[in-house]
Structure 1
Amino acid sequence: MPKDATHTPETLLDVRNLSVDFRTPRGRVKALRDISFPIRKNRIIGIVGESGSGKSTVLWALLGLLAKNAEVMGGEVRFGDRDLLHASETQLRATRGEEISVVFQDPMTSQIPVLTYGRQMRDILYRRPDVSAAEKRRMAVEMLGKVGIPDPDKRIDQYPHHFSGGMRQRAGIAMALLTGPQLLLADEPTTALDVTMEAQIIHLLQDLQKELDATVVVVSHNLGLIAELCDDVVVMYAGEVVEAGEVHEIFHNAQHPYTRALLECDPARIDDVSRKLPVIPGDIPDLTKALSGCIYAPRCQRALPVCRENTPPDVARGGMSLARCHLLDGPHHDPSWPPPLDVMTVGQGEASVSKPARVKSDEPLLEVSDLNVQFETVGPLRARLKGIDQRHVDAVLDVSLSVAPGETVGLVGESGSGKTTLGRCVLNLVPAQGGSVRFEGQEIRNMPEGRFKPLRRDMAMMFQDPVGSLSPRKSIRALITEPFQIHGVTGVDLDAEAERLAEMVRLPKPFLSRYPHELSGGQARRVGVARALALNPKLIIADEPTAGLDVSVQGEILNLMADLQAEHGLGYLIITHNLPVVRHIADRLAIMYLGRIVEEGRTDEVFARPVHPYTQALVEGVPQPDPDRRRAHVSISGEVPSLLNRPKGCDFAGRCPFAQDLCRAEKPPHVTMADGRRHACHFPLGQ
């Protein structure tokens, strides 16, 4: 990066020529190479890029929290007049928390489950012995109130498991800001949150940054989040900064081919749902090998011979803006680059293969009717001793939906709405207390395992956590062929089957000898798809199949699933809160709220004309990868009600801007409209 871009009076922290290696059995991984960028005061800077690009490594290098096998090879991190890379451990401990704080990606694992928030926040202020315990509690209550926790003076004495995911993330932000740091680092702060909670966290960070005059660094692969939240953007690829600039420059006039490709692969930008999603061909290079030329050249659609041989020049545009590309300057400068934003520069994919004809049958592949799933909240003895009448909560309430052969049904809703519970109940992993679940016309609800096991060959599940759902002790080859062994399938060549399945999901054969921890998120997801397809099932329930994946990898997985569906006539039930993704893959949508389906219909109709206020809020709440289209307000305020205190009338009435007295008094019935859509709303929109 040019020197004048990193030495400005308003710079709070300056990263200069930072290089970090990791020692591994496969050799040294050159995770960061000559990284330079400024963090300007009182601004929000976003670091974006695919998994493996080094985004999080930068954060941990700033704080001196790198793993033991990491080695800083060179560079400086100037924080005021100090170089944090050469600070002592005592100096770093004094800096962490007090001057630089962190909001971690997963609040449930970064917060102590056996300590109340009051105790945890009091411990954060341990460096202030002159402040009394009562004053520390007052400061903690005040900060919880600032981040929007209701009744903070009472909630401060609760534990993390008492909070919802969104509230835990708010509490994590409160804990990070309690000491009044100059710099706040946020590592994927909204990855596990649905669009409504994500919007609330975005607006919260923006408000707090302005109120406290703080500087914030956000690491994310969510382009909509970066566009909506940030002032400056740094784009990283394979351990290098390839482009940097103010958010409007990056999203409206991206210069580097990689930045353009990322933007073009975002499903939220693509209106034509009849085509396959665009993807960036190839993978991030192996950083243990010697690298030359432009790091992106092997995947670049515009690469020239010089790109593979010579390091690209740094092309500055004033301020902190720069891009590294031969097309932008020098003898290979291309005046036609970059093209207008409406011109695609990555492959758009071919038109989607038409889906197979529906199997002519009186019964759909899967039919769920009036399903009710309850969870026990307290045992009978404790309930009798304490006089508790309500021992159960309805996690799934009078749910009805169907999936036909070759059809994709999207099940959408906020965290805690009962989506995963419904999917697990269909697979007989959770007992149901009422209703019907029929598979190919056969009733399977609560079927004994001995009778149900043969049916499992025709039903499979893709789990939300692709790595956590795989045994770390088994190779990919063993994991892919495990379904054959579980179901006692004989007479098959397991090695041949492993290679067939790997080829089907486009997983390179050398990966069969690897273990789950050696795979990227997208590669692990492919293993999950291969396992699900091993026994040629008819129905696949996919729980958040693109969660945590980069936009390009999302496109690959969704295109793969569409191809396999067209080839084998699979029925999909996709559980997700990612609306831009489900819009491209689902034929029909079922919107779920607090265990009930509040709207169901064809995907295009639901997006174009939602009739339930909750559906409208979800559709309008999707963050757009365009800083000029930032949401002026949060689409839904408040939290999802507790199942222990389900509202008497409509479950959504407490958060609905159109609620009337009837909504609070009576639960709305399910109504079928003239166009076939079903909803549960007393006063449907547009009616």
Structure 2
Amino acid sequence: MTNDILLNIEGLTLDFRTNRGRVKALRDISFPVRRGRILGIVGESGSGKSTILWSILGLLAGNAEVTAGRVEYGARDLLTLNAEGLRAIRGEEISVVFQDPMTSQIPVLPYARQMSDILYRRSMSEADKRRAAVDMLRRVGIPDPDSRVDAYPHQFSGGMRQRAGIAMSMLTGPNLLLADEPTTALDVTMEAQMIGLMRGLRDDFDTTIVVVSHNLGLIAEMCDDVVVMYAGEVVETGEVHDIFHNARHPYTRALLECDPARIAEVSRKLPVIPGDIPDLTRPLPGCIFADRCQKAMPDCARVAPPQVARGGGMARCHLLEGPLADASWPPPADVVTVGRDLGGLAPAKVRNDAPPLLDVHDLNVRFRTMGPLKARMNGVSDPFVDAVLDVSLDLQPGETLALVGESGSGKTTLGRTILNLQGASGGSVRFDGQEIAGMAEARFKPLRRDMAMMFQDPVGSLSPRKSVRALITEPLVIHGAQGRDLDAEAERLADMVRLPRSFLSRYPHELSGGQARRVGVARALALNPRLIVADEPTAGLDVSVQGEILNLMADLQAEHGLSYLIITHNLPVVRHIADRIAIMYLGRIVEDGPAAEVFARPAHPYTRALVEGVPQPDPDRRRPPSATIEGEVPSLLRRPKGCDFASRCPLAQEACRRAKPEHIHIAPDHRHACLFPLSTTSDLTETA
């Protein structure tokens, strides 16, 4: 290897032994990782991105078998090291940020202990280790790190757990950092901070980073080099500008064109890549992408494509070289190549003339922070935190309302309270004219047939001991529908969410993220509800798969007149699917209004920061450091007396710190909670 290459993967081929046969998960993977740079590996779920990371670290499953190839790190082949040799490298020289922080962090140990254990090789006192842990938690944006370092993983939100995982990986200052979907659970503001933090780590410590992600905006903004994978093969590599501005492989082009952030016109239907990743247990002699390619020719499925070099990268495609080459390929970047004939039903019409299906007024949700005895001993008169404060919103029949905000802003708590899964401490929740806040479970159970929830974790919310058939018919059993033909109901629901009937006998661990999400949609639809609360319905999904799920939800809404309350931090998706948006910050709604109006003319500085903070899948449009929100989210234990956003707001004045702003209507259906809204502070905006 040359001195500028830190790690080199050459001809890596790996199989998994399964009951269905040998799954050829990786086939002839080759690419270098250049020292001091950030390499992004992008592709759909099941393409083998994470498997490459686990091959580097020697963390493969017991049924994995490396049949060929080398992973050279310095003068060593990591594939040949014994367990002791790998332990000496892991953590110290090569560190990792795992995709799922809940399963990669020890649930029975506080973060202080877990982070101290990471530094076990260092000759540091326990006090110094704790200070290092607190400092790193502060750097990744954990509020009150001095006290939160003693918290357990279950006491953090999903985004905060991911931040803690990034902090743990950074403690040792590794030479090579492997990050598997490091920002999946993070909102745009914290994602921007994490991108800046990881780029800063690269610059300050000369750390080389390999990032696995399906977030094209993250790859464009963070990476220097890109590897595009599909179904276990590398189909294209190159520098980030070449990949995003002059992609040559049809799969790379299709991925870019399916990203909602790149689609200028607002449409309820998002483009998708037709078909599915092929069965990797079968021989695949030709191009791996041929079955889904818009430009495929008969020979593409029979003849392996050539590897065509370009600069420091390459692409594997018949269109580029050989007897099947097409001089018109690749077309200019503004030419759309992915199919746009999405079909489906016309968008649902919102019934604004009808009474609201859901009406929430001045809702408060409080959580006790300590018991009465401990509160008296500590002289605390009010041992509570307000997770949701004075929230008012309504939802019309057939309408989609998006609830947007940072992790820990109270979005999920609000959704659970609306469904009576969490008690309210004040305010009103009316569903179809009935007051349901505090309603006894015996009275509320019949109403549950009209309300359903899609949970954030599509696999974790499904019982691992039940088949898909049992899972999607469980609501019918719970609500006394045993007299129905459950097999027929299962097939009906599977057909409704476009899940193959053969999947009914599978278990959750046998499903991809998109398939598990479809099972969650089927469960939610089992009782023909009128309201669905969807908590992060696109979290962890590839751009094409999330398009399929959202298109499915739009069709179901049009067919059944469903109302959606969508909890998300995915603003590019919100722009396309929501009728109205409500922005939450620290448990309070700071702005709400029609989606188009809020995106075009945000009134609250926090809303503007969210809208402008979306990472763009264009390396020429990287956000400058000044574009991110400075400071940390205030602690609920010490909620500011005045505006909750004042400590981070570039327009804040002394009046903002004295009293909470009231909600003001700037249009009949558009309101904000800001003393100095952007519509009246253009001069301040220009100087901020």
TM normalised by structure 2 equals: 0.94
Runs of 5+ unmatched residues, structure 1: 1-6
Aligned to 1:201: 194
The one-letter code matched in structure 1 to 2:562 is L
The one-letter code matched in structure 2 to 1:40 is R
Q: Pairwise mapping of residues 24-173 of structure 1 onto structure 2 (< 5 A)?
A: 24-115=18-109, 117=111, 119-128=113-122, 169-173=162-166
The one-letter code matched in structure 2 to 1:386 is N
- Distance change in 2, residues 1:614/1:180 (3 Å): closer
**2-structure distance, mates of 1:504, 1:297:** 28
2:612 to 620, 639, 653: 620
Residue 319 of structure 2 aligns to a residue whose secondary structure is: helix
Aligned to 1:4: none
- Distance change in 2, residues 1:169/1:542 (3 Å): closer
Contact kept? 1:266, 1:551, Cα under 8 Å: yes
1:244 to 231, 237, 256: 237
Contact kept? 2:268, 2:577, Cα under 8 Å: no
- Distance change in 2, residues 1:145/1:528 (3 Å): closer
Shift of 1:248: 0.3
Aligned to 2:306: 313
Partner deviation per Cα, 1:214-270 (whole Å, 9 max, x = no partner): 111011111100000000000111111000000000000001011111100001011
The one-letter code matched in structure 2 to 1:36 is S
Q: Pairwise mapping of residues 426-505 of structure 1 onto structure 2 (< 5 A)?
A: 426-489=418-481, 491-505=483-497
**1-structure distance, mates of 2:131, 2:585:** 36
Aligned to 1:12: 6
**1-structure distance, mates of 2:458, 2:145:** 36
**Is residue 384 from structure 1 mapped to residue 376 from structure 2 by the alignment?**
yes
1:211 to 204, 210, 214: 204
**2-structure distance, mates of 1:484, 1:294:** 45
**Is residue 667 from structure 1 mapped to residue 660 from structure 2 by the alignment?**
yes
**2-structure distance, mates of 1:324, 1:495:** 45
**1-structure distance, mates of 2:150, 2:450:** 48
Q: Percent same amino acid among aligned pairs?
A: 75
The one-letter code matched in structure 1 to 2:365 is V
The one-letter code matched in structure 2 to 1:16 is E
**Is residue 289 from structure 1 mapped to residue 282 from structure 2 by the alignment?**
yes
Q: Pairwise mapping of residues 253-652 of structure 1 onto structure 2 (< 5 A)?
A: 253-274=246-267, 276-319=269-312, 321-350=313-342, 353-359=345-351, 363-489=355-481, 491-633=483-625, 634-652=627-645
Partner deviation per Cα, 1:354-379 (whole Å, 9 max, x = no partner): 44444576521111111111112222
The one-letter code matched in structure 2 to 1:289 is R
Q: Which is further off, 172-181 or 585-594?
A: 172-181
Contact kept? 2:159, 2:185, Cα under 8 Å: no
Shift of 1:306: 1.1
Shift of 1:429: 0.8
The one-letter code matched in structure 1 to 2:81 is A
Residue 327 of structure 1 aligns to a residue whose secondary structure is: coil
**1-structure distance, mates of 2:142, 2:350:** 49
Shift of 1:155: 6.8
Runs of 5+ unmatched residues, structure 2: 681-688
Partner deviation per Cα, 1:278-300 (whole Å, 9 max, x = no partner): 00111111111222201111111
**2-structure distance, mates of 1:208, 1:425:** 40
Shift of 1:150: 7.8
**1-structure distance, mates of 2:171, 2:220:** 27
Contact kept? 1:417, 1:595, Cα under 8 Å: yes
- Distance change in 2, residues 1:367/1:133 (3 Å): closer
Residue 682 of structure 1 aligns to a residue whose secondary structure is: coil
- Distance change in 2, residues 1:647/1:491 (3 Å): same
Shift of 1:113: 4.9
Residue 607 of structure 1 aligns to a residue whose secondary structure is: helix
**2-structure distance, mates of 1:149, 1:589:** 27
- Distance change in 2, residues 1:299/1:468 (3 Å): same
Contact kept? 1:275, 1:351, Cα under 8 Å: no
Shift of 1:386: 2.7
**1-structure distance, mates of 2:39, 2:559:** 44
Aligned-pair Cα RMSD in Å: 2.2
Residue 673 of structure 1 aligns to a residue whose secondary structure is: strand
**2-structure distance, mates of 1:441, 1:273:** 33
Aligned length: 679
Q: Which is further off, 444-453 or 632-641?
A: 632-641
Contact kept? 1:248, 1:627, Cα under 8 Å: yes
Residue 537 of structure 2 aligns to a residue whose secondary structure is: coil
Contact kept? 2:348, 2:554, Cα under 8 Å: no
The one-letter code matched in structure 2 to 1:285 is P
The one-letter code matched in structure 2 to 1:499 is E
- Distance change in 2, residues 1:493/1:169 (3 Å): closer
Contact kept? 2:176, 2:207, Cα under 8 Å: yes
- Distance change in 2, residues 1:144/1:568 (3 Å): closer
Contact kept? 1:188, 1:218, Cα under 8 Å: yes
Residue 407 of structure 2 aligns to a residue whose secondary structure is: coil
**2-structure distance, mates of 1:149, 1:594:** 14
Residue 545 of structure 1 aligns to a residue whose secondary structure is: coil
The one-letter code matched in structure 2 to 1:31 is A
**2-structure distance, mates of 1:456, 1:251:** 47
- Distance change in 2, residues 1:208/1:446 (3 Å): same
Contact kept? 1:274, 1:351, Cα under 8 Å: no
Residue 293 of structure 1 aligns to a residue whose secondary structure is: coil
Partner deviation per Cα, 1:468-508 (whole Å, 9 max, x = no partner): 11111111111111111111125432222211111111111
Aligned to 1:3: none
Shift of 1:171: 4.7
Partner deviation per Cα, 1:528-572 (whole Å, 9 max, x = no partner): 111111111111111111111000000001011111111111111
